[in-house]
Structure formats: structure tokens, C-alpha cells
Copies of this chain bind each other. A is one copy, B any other.
Amino acid sequence: MGLVCEKGRLWVLDQTLLPNKEEWLRADSPPQMASFILDLKVRGAPLIGVAAAAALARCAEEGASWEEFKGAAMLLRRARPTAVNLMAAVDRMLAACRPAGGKAGGKTALAERACAEAERVFDEDVALCRRIAERGARFIQDGESVLTHCNAGGLATAGIGTAVGVIRAAHESGKRVHVFVDETRPLLQGARLTAWELESLKIPYTIVCDNMAGSLMRRGKIRGIFVGADRIARNGDFANKIGTYPLAVLARHHGVPFYCAAPVTTVDLAIETGERIPIEERSPEEVRRDWGPRRARVYNPAFDVTPAELLEAMILDVGVVRRADLLKGRLSSRVTLKPPARARR
């Protein structure tokens, strides 16, 4: 939803300007795309993977050599450290495009392979979202209010989204759903992006500040919480937008089921537990803006880690993994059961 390729040109929707302005930016080159990812103009764990693959395809089409292609891949791979989809997509492009038998296959062959693989990455993400949504929708009952944090919607993927996709599928199946949208400080992806998406989907919603969900839960107003993920460790712990972990603790305290919805491309089997997921720290200015004292020290981690034990279930495209199974270490078997093509690291 936030990325299109048209007549050989790659365009991305500037997500920092929504909902006030819909501006599409030309993503002419991998460095340009890397800077858009860094600035969160392009964001959402699945989408930045798709965007990186598309940018690599574009650069191969422009006639990049294999060495240039590899350099561009490394640049993109480093744009954001937490979401694993980016790294997985870049590695997958490298694996698909690597010249066979050590011989350079020529620029045309590289371009063809890169474009075909990027298209598969895109199409698979669309299909993964649809499957997640179908599997997750049954966890929402008619007439319920649920809560979501940050934006795990169409803007964060090539398809209909992950957590928001689940809510959308429930809505489209005829259930009356109301969504509490956490505004998600500091960058307000909930108040800006999720609200904008729900508005266009005509799904009723109410924006709340991040610090209000607790009292809503205490008053029994929230029947389920649905979030996305930026990286899922082998044991089911997962990193997601800062503020996810406290919601999970509050959900446990109040007996509210808490779900993480994500594609298998977000699972990183190389990482045993959440403690090992690198957490990106971003600029103090994002928090301080124009209201804090100029010299104020700020701590601004972009993500936090939620342990698997606080989940009711993890909703993956390949299947729903319940807490009991997560805690028995069964996530990895589900993921390796039917993995998408994944590259070596």
C-alpha cells in the first residue's frame, strides 16, 4: 500500500507526512531508499524488506554490476538494525542473484533475476498477510473492542497488514469491531497511520494515548490486543514498537488475550531469545521536539522485547502457535515446516 513500481519507476508513500498529506517520493537508488527507511518515510518490518528488494531490482535494471549490487545490498541491510525482514529480504535477493558457479552472469541476467525475485518477495508478502488475517480473524468476536499499537497495517506491508489485517478480516466477515488505537509516542504511527487506515476502511476506532490502555483494560473495555513484530526469536520472544511490552504486561494482569501477528519472514531462527535482539536507539529530538528543555537528556529506544510467555498466541501465516506450544519451543518446527525460500546469511 505504501510502495508502487510503475513503468520502471519505484515510488514510496512518505509515511511521515500522513495523514495530513499524501506525497509519493521517487526512490531512485538503494542509497535513496536506505535514507527513506532510516527516516521512517518507508516503515513497517515487512514493507522495508519488500522495499529493499524492489530498490535492488531497480538498481540491477539500471545496469549495476554484481559488485555494485552487493554494495547496494549491504547499504540497505544496515538501514535499520531491529527488523529482521529487511536483512532476510536483502539476503534472499543476494542468494537469488548470485552468479552461478562463481561466474559473472552479465548485467542482463542479474537484472532479470533481481526483478523476478523482488516480484516474488512482493507477491509473497501480499499472500502472507492474507493468510495471517484469515487465521487471526476468529480471535475477534462480534461486538468486541480490541486494541492495536503502532501501525501493523497495509502501510507496514505490501498487503493488507498483519495485526490490522486480522482486524480487517474480522470486520469484512461481518463482525462489528471497534478498535482502540494507541497513539504510539514518539512518532505517532497509531494516531497518524493506523487511524488513517481504519478511517479509509470504515472500521470504527478511537485514538487513546499510550498511557490510557491500562485503565481501559481495568474497566473491561478491551477484549483483545493485536500487534505486529519486527523480529521474532526462536523461543517466541519478539521485538516490536516501543510500548508493546507494557501492553503485554497489562494484558496479563487483566486477563486480556494478547496476540502477535506476523509473517514467517519476521522469525529469526538464528536468535535464541529476545534478549539477543538488537534494539535501535533513535534521536532525542524525536521525543524532545519543541517542548522539553533544550539540554534535556532523553532515552529513545525504538523497540522493546515481549517475552513469549505473555502471548496468548502468535498468529503466523503458517499457523497459529499457542502459548503452551511456544513455551515448549515449537515455534521453530512450525516455521521450518513450510518456510518461504530463505537465503543463507
Q: Which residues of A contact B (CB under 8 A)?
A: 19-20, 180, 182-186, 188, 191-192, 195-196, 199, 204-216, 218, 242-243, 245-246, 249-250, 252-253, 287-288, 290-293, 295-301, 304-305
Give the oligomeric copy count: 2
User: Which one of B20, B185, B218, B293 contacts A185 once the chains associate, using CB atoms below 8 Å?
Assistant: B185
Give the residues in chain B near A245, CB-CB below 8 Å.
Answer: 214-215, 218
Contact B206 A19 (CB under 8 A): no
Give the residues in chain B near A211, CB-CB below 8 Å.
Answer: 182, 184-185, 210-211, 242-243, 246
Give the residues in chain B near A183, CB-CB below 8 Å.
Answer: 185, 287, 292
CB distance from A20 to the nearest CB of B (A): 7
Contact A207 B253 (CB under 8 A): no
15 A-B pairs (CB sep. < 8 Å) = A19-B293, A186-B209, A192-B292, A206-B296, A207-B288, A207-B296, A207-B297, A207-B299, A208-B299, A211-B243, A212-B243, A212-B301, A213-B246, A214-B246, A246-B246
Contact A243 B291 (CB under 8 A): no
Contact A188 B298 (CB under 8 A): no
CB distance from A175 to the nearest CB of B (A): 19
Q: Known: A185-B211, A291-B20. Is A205-B243 also a contact (CB below 8 A)? A: no
Give the residues in chain B near A218, CB-CB below 8 Å.
Answer: 245, 304
Contact B20 A195 (CB under 8 A): no
Give the residues in chain B near A205, CB-CB below 8 Å.
Answer: 296-297
Give the residues in chain B near A305, CB-CB below 8 Å.
Answer: 215
User: Which one of B192, B206, B295 contacts A298 once the chains associate, using CB atoms below 8 Å?
Assistant: B206
CA distance A297 to B182 in the complex (A): 12
CB distance from A291 to the nearest CB of B (A): 5
Contact B185 A210 (CB under 8 A): yes
Contact B207 A209 (CB under 8 A): no
Give the residues in chain B near A214, CB-CB below 8 Å.
Answer: 243, 245-246, 249, 304
Q: Known: A212-B243, A215-B245. Is A290-B20 also a contact (CB below 8 A)? A: yes
Give the residues in chain B near A297, CB-CB below 8 Å.
Answer: 204-207
Give the residues in chain B near A300, CB-CB below 8 Å.
Answer: 208-209, 212
Give the residues in chain B near A185, CB-CB below 8 Å.
Answer: 183, 185, 209-211
Give the residues in chain B near A243, CB-CB below 8 Å.
Answer: 209, 211-212, 214
Give the residues in chain B near A296, CB-CB below 8 Å.
Answer: 191, 195, 199, 205-207
CA distance A210 to B246 in the complex (A): 10
User: Which one of B196, B199, B204, B299 contacts A206 once the chains associate, using CB atoms below 8 Å?
Assistant: B299
CB distance from A213 to the nearest CB of B (A): 7
Q: Which of A186, A206, A292, A295 has the most CB of B within 10 A?
A: A292
Give the residues in chain B near A208, CB-CB below 8 Å.
Answer: 287, 298-300
7 extra interface residue pairs, beta carbon distance < 8 Å, beyond A191-B287, A216-B299, A249-B250: A185-B211, A195-B296, A204-B297, A206-B297, A207-B288, A208-B298, A211-B242
Contact A293 B186 (CB under 8 A): no
Give the residues in chain B near A184, CB-CB below 8 Å.
Answer: 211
Beta-carbon nearest neighbor of A284 in chain B? B207
Q: Which of A204, A253, A288 has the most CB of B within 10 A?
A: A253
CA distance A212 to B243 in the complex (A): 6
CA distance A40 to B305 in the complex (A): 36
